Structure 1
Amino acid sequence: MSITPAEVPLPDGFGVELTPDQFEARFLALHRQLYASSEFEFAAVTRHIYRPPASYYQVDHSLFHDGQRWHLFYCTGQMRNTDAYTACMARGDWQGAAQNTVEPGIGHAAGADLADLQFVGLIEPVVQGDFDLITRSNGWAFCYGGRYGMIYGVRGVAGFVGFSLMWSDDLETWQGGAANPVLRAPAWAAPGATCKDVHVYQYEGQFLLYYITSDRDGYCSIALCTTEDWQTFIDRGPVFRAAPMLRGTMGVESPTVCFRDGLWHLFFTYGPGLCHAVSPRPDQFVQSRGNTYNVGTGYYPLGAFHATEVLQDAAGDWWLTTDRKEETRRLNRQAGRLCYRGSYEDEKTLEEGLYLSRLHWQGDQPILQRPAD
């Protein structure tokens, strides 16, 4: 496995289908719509669809359809270990953190319908070294070479955070890759920066891997790398950067990307909830205006949603999956209740599991609705 030591831009024009004038018209129409819109209320547009086993939680996740069933793969563990785990990590007690890990593996549920997911089991990757001693979680499944692959997050001693690969013929029994870990924080990231929450999007023979880290100036970043063969990875640099947020989710987390009618959409958790940005290209979601007053790009909040995925099914319908963590934080703030980040009191809502919202588009604006029961 190898990754480029420095960022290499995508080939000129890769993923670009709109002319500058076409993008300007689309962006201006969206911006006008947003001026007449407000954030969505969590309870009004979601319904609960999946609860993990008792005392376990569900957070960052991915959904994969094998042609017959949906498969949910999600970050999970015993949330009640949170306080002990956090204390061990803070003092550099790696063995203690491993013993109290909150992410021992990847939860797996499946069903013919998104609203009918049933628990299948806990996928527990074998510990392969110091690099994955503490956590192994948050997998993303894909097809390659006639098999199923999964890239998943790992955390090890001395602050290592990155990704490993494993392979399967049936989505249930998995074998670890021989060259793990395959990815770590890029060269432009700050020393000790995180490297997690991968989202994979396949486009024109390339696998686009979006994940989070932070740069040397302290900005939370969504990074991009690409691969064709899951052996050589090319760092494409940051696609979005923002200062840490002191209310809600501190960093930029849980990126999800989709390409629709020539426009790239980026959704991510940041501060009090879910945010949305658009771009004519897959590698730059903040751009300067240049000489055009109307187009500078940016992002806006959709509501108190946390760790979301946006997906389209085979029938062409769009969906958003999420959890209730940011909505609970909003209610806690409203009540003046302090449940500080990293505590069990802040995290326990994740034990409720997954919520579903129906998404439809008005032009390029995503509109959320509560699915029918």
Structure 2
Amino acid sequence: MHPISRRRLLQGSAAAGALALPGVGGSATAAPPPPHQWIGAGPFAHVYDPSTPGGQRYLNDHTLIKAADRWHLFGIVGAGAPPGRAPDSAAEVAFAHASAPDPYGPWTTHTDALTVDPAYFGEEHLWAPHVIEAGGTYWMFYAAGGRSGAAISLATSTDLFTWTRVPTGPLFRGRAARDPMVLRIAGQWVMYYTELSGQDGRHVVAFRRSDDLLHWSEPGIAFTDATTVATLSVTESPFVVERDGWYHLFIGPRNGYDGTDVFASRNPFSFGLDGYAGHVPGHAVEVVTDGQQWHASAAGWFHQGLYLAPLYWRDAPPPWQSPDNPVAGLDVDGRLTVFALDAGDRSLLRRVQLDQESDTWSSWEPFGGPAGAVPTLGRDTAGRLEVFSLAPGGAGLHHRVQRPDGGWEDWEEFGGAAGAAPAVARNADGRLEVFALGPGGTAIARRRQRSPGSPTWDAWDGGFGGPAGAPPVVAANADGRLEVFALSPGGSGIYHRWQETPDGA
């Protein structure tokens, strides 16, 4: 039989059944909680490398728990793969263990906490540990299946170093059950985990309830994604946090391997795409708090260990979080010009190619800012560059136009608010056209120049499309017609819209 891959869905036979949703406490006359907040994250810092003198190792799904005055980390660990290749998840057979006085370290590596035991009811791998404390005992829930099907298993400890599997075997099996997370809600234990629905094979987050952490109810479904078994899972690593009367579900990988979406709901047993509440650019994200500060932890196949970032709760949608890659274009003199964000204060920097043959460049120079994202570029029919920048926090857009002599006009406000730097293209008649994602992805707005090279622009058309799950992209067809592509919320499909004629509707 072929090895089981964690990224390719486990093939089992158990179907998720229906479960009536209970009330979640509170009285009918209680004042409603405030609107849900929006979640984003600051830059991730590398805080722990699990590699040993014997070789490079990576972490994947993991858990953090504080005991006494130390934090403990447990996670999938595996040997790093050659560049350009993904590791074999079927070879993930141990849980790393490390501890530190603070989540940011310094971390001390301990002996692996648990290794695979084929004699334990057909266990063939160890995935996604989650550890809680209850009644003076530490409970480690983890995914361990094989030829007998996907399974959620349990080991316990009194000191976080020595772990013993419960003798009765897995707590339950499922079609693709993995990535358990356990939370106390309304007097019961609730386990969230990754699963496939039995009816149509859609990717879901399932839940079960328990009074004693050993015996679990039949499954219910807390979240259903539009994607199906034919695609890679996008409901992995579920993590639920309650704050101010709202429950927040973190799941991924979404919008890339290093991507986690957040969905908010008043009901911890029912989340939907319409509750989108933010995005964290990390893989297998867990939420960590000491009661005062919030952090997001992340790890993954292509990273050496554990990363931490500050987690932000805001009243307004944060800007779209994308990699801070530079952007380049030809200026009015035909020279390559590169724009990048300063890693310190996120101001814009510029560097110009001085000579193509010798490949000499100017020094980096300040260009404005700070900015909320890497800028985007447009180029008019005269070859002049136009730079579009997102204000910090997505408060609005700004732009700056190159003069015919190669210099630059001052920055001007361009409008907004926007959720990301806009996509820019040139119409067949030379007019620039801009497409911007609205805050929180609620809509896509459009704006274009009155005439080629003109400093005057038409008003924003806020009803061009949306909602969207990521910033749009735009390109010109061979006949000059612009075509816009946008990801649907949740990533279930890609939509497009195109001009009927060049420069037309």
Calculate the TM-score normalised by the size of structure 1: 0.70
Structure 2 residue aligned with 1:310? 287
Distance 1:196 1:77, change over 3 A: same
Q: Confirm whether residue 142 of structure 1 aligns to residue 128 of structure 2.
A: no
Q: Which stretch shifts more, 228-237 or 214-223?
A: 228-237
| CA–CA separation in structure 2 for the residues paired with 1:147 and 1:319 | 25
Correspondence for 2:268 among 282, 306, 310: 282
Distance 1:263 1:354, change over 3 A: same
| CA–CA separation in structure 2 for the residues paired with 1:119 and 1:275 | 31
| CA–CA separation in structure 2 for the residues paired with 1:135 and 1:252 | 20
Q: Confirm whether residue 271 of structure 1 aligns to residue 254 of structure 2.
A: yes
Q: Confirm whether residue 118 of structure 1 aligns to residue 119 of structure 2.
A: no
Distance 1:229 1:355, change over 3 A: same
| CA–CA separation in structure 2 for the residues paired with 1:266 and 1:242 | 13
SS in structure 2 opposite 1:229? coil
Structure 2 residue aligned with 1:51? 49
Structure 1 residue aligned with 2:191? 209
SS in structure 2 opposite 1:180? coil
Structure 1 residue aligned with 2:391? none
Distance 1:21 1:170, change over 3 A: closer
| CA–CA separation in structure 1 for the residues paired with 2:253 and 2:28 | 28
| CA–CA separation in structure 1 for the residues paired with 2:288 and 2:208 | 21
Q: Confirm whether residue 358 of structure 1 aligns to residue 348 of structure 2.
A: no
SS in structure 1 opposite 2:69? coil
Correspondence for 1:243 among 198, 206, 226: 226
Distance 1:16 1:121, change over 3 A: farther
Structure 1 residue aligned with 2:275? 298
Structure 2 residue aligned with 1:180? 169
Correspondence for 1:218 among 201, 208, 219: 201
SS in structure 2 opposite 1:59? strand
Distance 1:5 1:84, change over 3 A: closer
Correspondence for 1:14 among 16, 21, 24: 24
Distance 1:366 1:176, change over 3 A: farther
Shift of 1:210: 0.6
Shift of 1:245: 8.2
SS in structure 2 opposite 1:26? coil
Amino acid at match of 2:192: Y
- Which structure's CA Rg is the greater one? 2
Shift of 1:274: 1.2
Q: Is the 8 A contact 2:79 2:87 kept in 1?
A: no
| CA–CA separation in structure 1 for the residues paired with 2:135 and 2:15 | 23
| CA–CA separation in structure 1 for the residues paired with 2:110 and 2:43 | 27
Q: Is the 8 A contact 1:61 1:72 kept in 2?
A: yes
| CA–CA separation in structure 1 for the residues paired with 2:35 and 2:213 | 35
Shift of 1:76: 1.3
Correspondence for 2:181 among 199, 203, 210: 199
| CA–CA separation in structure 2 for the residues paired with 1:182 and 1:354 | 29
| CA–CA separation in structure 2 for the residues paired with 1:307 and 1:250 | 12
Shift of 1:278: 0.5
| CA–CA separation in structure 2 for the residues paired with 1:173 and 1:271 | 35
| CA–CA separation in structure 2 for the residues paired with 1:355 and 1:128 | 32
Structure 2 residue aligned with 1:321? 297
SS in structure 2 opposite 1:306? coil
Shift of 1:45: 1.3
| CA–CA separation in structure 2 for the residues paired with 1:364 and 1:234 | 38
SS in structure 2 opposite 1:194? coil
Q: Is the 8 A contact 1:103 1:136 kept in 2?
A: yes
| CA–CA separation in structure 1 for the residues paired with 2:320 and 2:298 | 12
Q: Is the 8 A contact 1:139 1:151 kept in 2?
A: yes
Shift of 1:20: 9.6
SS in structure 1 opposite 2:58? coil
Amino acid at match of 1:268: I
Distance 1:310 1:156, change over 3 A: same
Shift of 1:231: 2.3
| CA–CA separation in structure 1 for the residues paired with 2:205 and 2:16 | 18
SS in structure 2 opposite 1:258? strand
Structure 1 residue aligned with 2:150? 161
| CA–CA separation in structure 2 for the residues paired with 1:303 and 1:204 | 28
| CA–CA separation in structure 2 for the residues paired with 1:263 and 1:308 | 19
Q: Is the 8 A contact 1:264 1:278 kept in 2?
A: yes
| CA–CA separation in structure 2 for the residues paired with 1:83 and 1:360 | 31
Amino acid at match of 1:177: V
Q: Is the 8 A contact 1:18 1:262 kept in 2?
A: no
Shift of 1:223: 0.6
Structure 2 residue aligned with 1:343? none
Q: Residue by residue, what CA displacement relative to the aligned partner does 1:295-354 show, whole Å, maximum 9, x if unpaired?
A: xx332551432110112214x21111113x5xxxxxxxxxxxxxxxxxxxxx4x13x111
Q: Is the 8 A contact 2:250 2:262 kept in 1?
A: yes
| CA–CA separation in structure 2 for the residues paired with 1:114 and 1:223 | 29
SS in structure 1 opposite 2:35? helix
Q: Residue by residue, what CA displacement relative to the aligned partner does 1:260-305 show, whole Å, maximum 9, x if unpaired?
A: 1111111111332110110011100128xxxxxxxxx332551432
Distance 1:147 1:21, change over 3 A: closer
Instruction: Report the number of matched residues.
Output: 300
Amino acid at match of 2:222: V
Amino acid at match of 1:259: E
When you count helix as a share of all residues, which structure comes out higher? 1
Q: Is the 8 A contact 1:227 1:233 kept in 2?
A: yes
SS in structure 2 opposite 1:235? coil
Distance 1:153 1:362, change over 3 A: same
Of structures 1 and 2, the one with the larger relative CO (CA 8 A, separation 6+) is 1
Amino acid at match of 2:35: R
| CA–CA separation in structure 2 for the residues paired with 1:151 and 1:78 | 23
Root-mean-square deviation (Å): 3.6
Q: Residue by residue, what CA displacement relative to the aligned partner does 1:228-282 show, whole Å, maximum 9, x if unpaired?
A: 1122201351111113389x96431111111111111111113321101100111
Amino acid at match of 1:319: H
| CA–CA separation in structure 2 for the residues paired with 1:194 and 1:260 | 30
| CA–CA separation in structure 2 for the residues paired with 1:367 and 1:199 | 28
Q: Is the 8 A contact 1:249 1:271 kept in 2?
A: no
Q: Is the 8 A contact 1:76 1:107 kept in 2?
A: yes
Q: Residue by residue, what CA displacement relative to the aligned partner does 1:47-83 show, whole Å, maximum 9, x if unpaired?
A: 1111112322101111111121111111112244987
Correspondence for 1:26 among 21, 29, 35: 35
